[in-house]
Chain A
Amino acid sequence: MQGGRTYRFSFLLMVLALLCSWLLNISSGSVTIPFADMLSTLFGESPEIASWEYIIWDYRVPKAFTSILVGGGLSLSGLLMQTLFRNPLAGPFVLGISSGASLGAALLLMGTSILAGYTSLSFLGDITLSIASSFGSFLVLLIVMIVAQRVKDTMALLIIGLMFGSITSAIVSVLAYFSSAEDLQRFNFWSFGSVGNLSVNQLFLLGSIVAVGVFLSIISIKSLNAFLLGENYAQSLGVSLKKSRLTIIVATGLLAGGITAFAGPIAFVGLAVPHLTRQIFNTMEHKVLIPAVMLYGAILMLLCDTLAQLPNSASVLPINAITSLVGAPVVIWLLVRKRKMMF
């Protein structure tokens, strides 16, 4: 397609924007660090005040990279879902996939102590948490997929997704009622969403999960494009429906589930970013859209996290609240302006 040259400029701009928002994100925080000092610290020099080095390298840089992974990964999972379900309103949050991840996390964080009588979570590693919530999101995704096979109506699918959300949140409430105060608090903090608490090891693990999701998406580019015509047409173009559907579901589950495990349920990024991206990149070619939504999502997440940081203040707002405050009006604006959302 005419793709290549036309979009090179847009991509260049986006990479620049990503770099700027990355720097902006690192320069903001409860401790004010002069921009020049921050830059020199990033380039390996020791700053005037020794603690700045620690703040930048051990806190802000991992946080910024987490934001990039979270924003890029969630946006990609939203794009995959919109194409797979042929539904412009599909996204990890709307279809109940995030709720599934929440359920997995809740069962682990609160359920195990109820069932086994343990109150300590020390034996539960991060890997267990990410497996639990990935498993939860896979489960919901599979159920939604099976339902989608029977119910062709897109509205019905969304309502079913919402119902799954209700069911899982009901189970979470029941669990919360019976669990200890510490466990409940732990789960609550997780559900606010945060990109700031990851150690380098956790960041590495998250990075690997996202990398696998991205890899699976890239090998699905051709079938994703064919799915734009509908499943029957895709089949007539030689796409093996079962195999490619499964690959895309696994990719989506890994991305949405893995990210939700580490950063908590983060709303609206997955739904809104693909639409925002299509405002700039006027194409449906997934070869262009996959890198574009990832860049856009990463930029948006860095900016949201910068906002959550509340300049010159020690308090950090829950990131989930910020993305909802930014994302929901965007979706409304898109609906009102275009009257009909398309994917």
Chain B
Amino acid sequence: MAKGKKNILSIADLSIGYASKTIAQNINFDLEAGILCGVVGINGIGKSTLLRTLGGFQPKLDGNIRLKDQNLEKYTSSDLSKELSVVLTEQPASKNLTVQELIALGRQPYTNWLGTLTKQDKQQIEASLDAFLLKDLRHRKCHQLSDGQLQRVLVARAMAQDTSLILLDEPTTHLDLYHKVQILKMLQELAHDKQKTILFTTHEIELAIQLCDRILILDGKDNPFGDPCQLIEQKHFDRLFPSEMVQFDAKTGSFKVNK
């Protein structure tokens, strides 16, 4: 990535959690355009809370979140919907939607009061269908899709929303290895080709190391952030899990179970 690029997302001294309980603090990182960034950490460390806070679903406790040089809280909900899209762990409420209908909903921030799709909207929907290999499935109902297909549909919807930042909460859960790699590869393409900034939480540390441009490790203390290789050299992954049961092997970039 070229240096001196403008930051899409800048996080400084962020504390997240609830009024009664701070879940994570001291989070600092910057993301430029075209970067795929994974957030890793053990269960309960605050990955989802971070994503919910960045998505504007829950207030931050302290610190600064700047999206395109403006504080996140300053955005009106309609302005924000043009800059930030999300893929959540929750399933769509109605699975009776067709693939195309669901993806078309991503265009809502741009359509008129009746939601009429313009030519440009339709092009964007086609591009999203195309990018996520959904053209043949466009008239399928969501309840007829496999988990992997549904996940692709949800990401395609986020792409159709055409925002500079896309947040995904555990996009790889419930998928087999092939489909995990497939969805992450597609995210990587989306970030690099369309210059989108993509931040996702995951438990697939080994895949994240291979595919992400940056990784944020939530460890409850310093929350290191950087290139995957850099983080390996600095031995940050070694301390990811608390016990000796699982150990990181820097040579292969993978975890080994201690027998």
Contact = CB atoms under 8 A, between A and B. Distances in A.
Interface of A: 1-2, 83, 86, 219, 221-222, 225-233, 235-240, 278, 283-285, 287, 342-343
B102 interface: yes
Interface stretch (B110-118, B170-178, B221-229, B245-253): B110-118
A55 to B, nearest CB: 42
Contacts of B78: 238
A226 B157 CA distance: 12
Nearest to B92: A229
A342 B143 contact: yes
B86 interface: yes
Given A222-B115, A238-B78, A1 B100 contact: yes
Given A1-B104, A232-B57, A238-B109, A225 B115 contact: yes
A342 to B, nearest CB: 5
A257 B98 CA distance: 33
A208 B143 CA distance: 39
Given A236-B84, A287-B114, A229 B93 contact: yes
B256 interface: no
Interface in B104-147: 104-106, 108-109, 111, 113-115, 117, 143
B211 interface: no
A229 B94 CA distance: 6
Contacts of A226: 105, 108
B14 interface: no
Contact of A232 (B88, B95, B100, B108): B88
Contacts of A284: 94, 96-98, 101
Interface of B: 55-57, 77-78, 80-82, 84-86, 88, 90-98, 100-102, 104-106, 108-109, 111, 113-115, 117, 143, 161
B93 A228 contact: yes
B90 A225 contact: no
Given A228-B105, A236-B81, 4 more contacts: A2-B100, A229-B105, A342-B94, A343-B96
B105 A235 contact: no
Contact of B96 (A221, A232, A240, A278): A278
List the 6 closest A-B pairs by CB distance, nearest first: A238-B81, A238-B78, A230-B93, A86-B93, A228-B94, A237-B108
19 contacts: A1-B100, A86-B94, A222-B111, A225-B105, A228-B97, A228-B105, A229-B94, A233-B86, A235-B57, A237-B106, A237-B161, A238-B81, A278-B96, A283-B101, A284-B96, A284-B101, A285-B101, A342-B94, A342-B143
A222 B77 contact: no
A86 B143 CA distance: 15
Contacts of B57: 232, 235
A284 B97 CA distance: 6
A236 B96 contact: no
A246 B113 CA distance: 17
B161 A229 contact: no
Contacts of B100: 1-2
A162 B104 CA distance: 37
B101 A236 contact: no
A227 B105 CA distance: 10
Contact of A233 (B84, B92, B114, B143): B92
A343 B88 contact: no
Given A236-B86, A239-B77, A229 B101 contact: no
Nearest to A223: B108
Contacts of A228: 92-94, 97, 105
B104 to A, nearest CB: 6
